[in-house]
Structure 1
Amino acid sequence: DATLLHHGGALSGYRSHLLLIPDHQLVVVVLGNVNTLRPAAVATEVADHLLSGGQAPGPEDNGIATTAGETLRHADLEAAAKYRGRYLMENGRMLTVEAAEGRLFMVMGGSLQELRPVDDNRFMLAGEGIPVAFERSNNGRMQRMTLELPEHVMRAERLEPATVSGWDYRQYEGRYFSPALEVHYELVRDGEQLLARRSRGVDLEFTPIGDDRFLEWDPGDLVLKFERNRRGRVTGFTLSTSRARNVEFVRE
């Protein structure tokens, strides 16, 4: 198996990703100036295309052994690209599933681990020995992921951009204060996104993902969730990452 090295970066309005596969002397660099770009996905797709020579792989070297001793063809793994995306775990940790070299990988806290197929919608997280299962929604799209940890089962919801009306954006706009962080955020609409102008630091761009929730899509581990009173008025929001949960902001 080839070794993959990667690192991503993000700043308000800019996205980048560096991917190296030393065994093939391949380096892919993706730079973008649009917030909706997913550079990690672009980098892995470019690497996969270059390594395959733009042609369908041969039968000798493009299968992958499963824990059951079976082999799945490259074409099967191409179809498995439907698993790719961002998944939010119950503990607030963000997982990303990507594809490269005809294989699936899970990005966990900056580390890249292979997902080896076992059977339909079931994989094994290589190196960890953790079974991973995907569930479909009624429309056939992957909806959630389940990790069967030794102590308990952890579920992760797949996140996708949602549509927010102009009226909803007006409900969210305003000035907010966090007593814990002692910072002000001013939220304003910026196209189809919500821009958080901070009293300290660079601005943050959030993409709607439904249910009063927004995600800083790339790097993708900052979730903003609005709070409402009994009359339905927005009174504040919380920010959560894998390292900090429910940091409160109060509307002024």
Structure 2
Amino acid sequence: MKQFLSVTLLLCLLGYKLTAQSLPDSTVKKIDSIFAKYSKGNSPGCTVGIVRNDSIIFAKGYGLANLEYEIPNQPTTIYHMASVSKQFTGYAIVLLVRQGKLKLEDDVRKYLTWFPDLKHTITIRHLLNHTSGIRDQWQLLAISGTRLTDVIKQEHIVKLLSKQQALNSPPGEQYNYSNSGYTMLAEIVKSVTGQTLRQFTDSAIFKPLGMTATHFHDDNTEIVKNRSYSYDQVGNDRYENSPLNYSNAGATSLFTNIPDLGKWVMNFYRYKVGDQRDISLLTTRGKLNNGKELNYALGISVDTYKGWRQYSHSGGDAGYRTYLAVLPDLQMGFMVFGNLGDFDAGGSTYAMMDLLVKDTATKKAAAAAKPRDSIAAMLRDTNSTRKYVGSYIGDDGLSLSFEIRNRRLYYQVYGETNFLIRENLDTFSIAPYPDIRFAFAVNGKDTLVDIIFPDKLMKLKKYVQASKVSDDILKQYTGLYYSPELDCKYGISLKDNKLFLTNSKYSDSELTLINSDHLTSGSWYMNHLQVLRDATNKITGFEVNSGRIMHLKFNKIE
């Protein structure tokens, strides 16, 4: 504890503003109230910081960084930043572009000879923008039998990605968040420079900015003084450890604290590493093949908040929850790092921002806005819409239903329901989100709906829910299934008229037969299986189409 206090004192002497001397007491009290539930002293909590111009004007810790030794959170506490790390990987690539050592349009296989030829050109830009179509590493690892609490090394991920045989979607067609892409970017840095991402960022970014407490933590056995530990809540006042044993970097694993990350914030508008052109490249939004612009740039999101330009990113691994938001035109930044699994880092960040940021967004006259209330949702003719009522499922396992109530069309998904507003004969939109649309169509015997997002299209087909199914029918699904891409096996067994997904590494998971070709389970990493059949209708395997994984084939071998 003496050593911890001496570190804090030293930082104060070096000029870090670790108290809220630049904020009115009334504002400090409001900030304290946001994090009041973590101030009891017997729970995990967070560290928070606010940057203005060239100073940290507020920095404070709440709750405990370590429950077992009752070490409090302080601004100097080291945190695992999870996906907030990605912007540093992105900036490493930006600096290499500036040095002329690579181009964003280069094929990744130019630098990563181990990556398979998937008959599509995947560029470095695709990796940065999450438009590569490459499946996500964490879900692939989980399916292969690796628990996310296991030690996961860079080489494990590389080996896994080197065996991939298909993409979720063609490059540039869809935004599909992929941690794999950022691990590959770290490997590209290594290929180009001969240095690991940790080594390169230390010399090119962290040391020049004076971020002496920051590094990419690529060795889980390394001791880091003054670090926080992560937890999950299991009761009102009970917590358990949430282990994190990553030995990989690129998508995650940045270790830093409030004073250090504050220096990075300042670099967005007071350039010390790189210049305005480099920051502009880092914050250039991606585009899909159809020209649609994304909110995601090169490891960081770019949008507006209360009319101001905003660069932001969230992070979440184990029990760590982090958020960074930068408002470059105000020369301000807001940082929140939590060490509890249900901590709302993003919500807390914006609660702080609301206290200090004035809304300059242009308000549209209420009279000019088209009503989007329950009256606007009233259907003049329900008969033409009734054919769309029922349950639908997509290739990725998304399941939702539609029903007509009180002359309005309602959708229901994941327990949420709301009315829809008709845009034209067969197209409806969600009341609060007019950019999200449902376009219905009838194609022969099939009733279809396309869910159209600004950056994604999802296709679903109407189905009839399977009723009581005999054991003879269920036996058709039983057997042993093998994935050559992951070199792992899963079984489907039958017991008491129920199907179960089995694996030597996990507990059995009950499968629900949605219809003859779709099975769902409670396992997050493979909660939807799409059945594959041959010309005679015999089951030959299944695809895992779930979350950030599509078209992962398992062949029936027994």
TM-score (norm 2): 0.26
> Which structure has the greater CA radius of gyration?
2
More helix by share: 2
More strand by share: 1
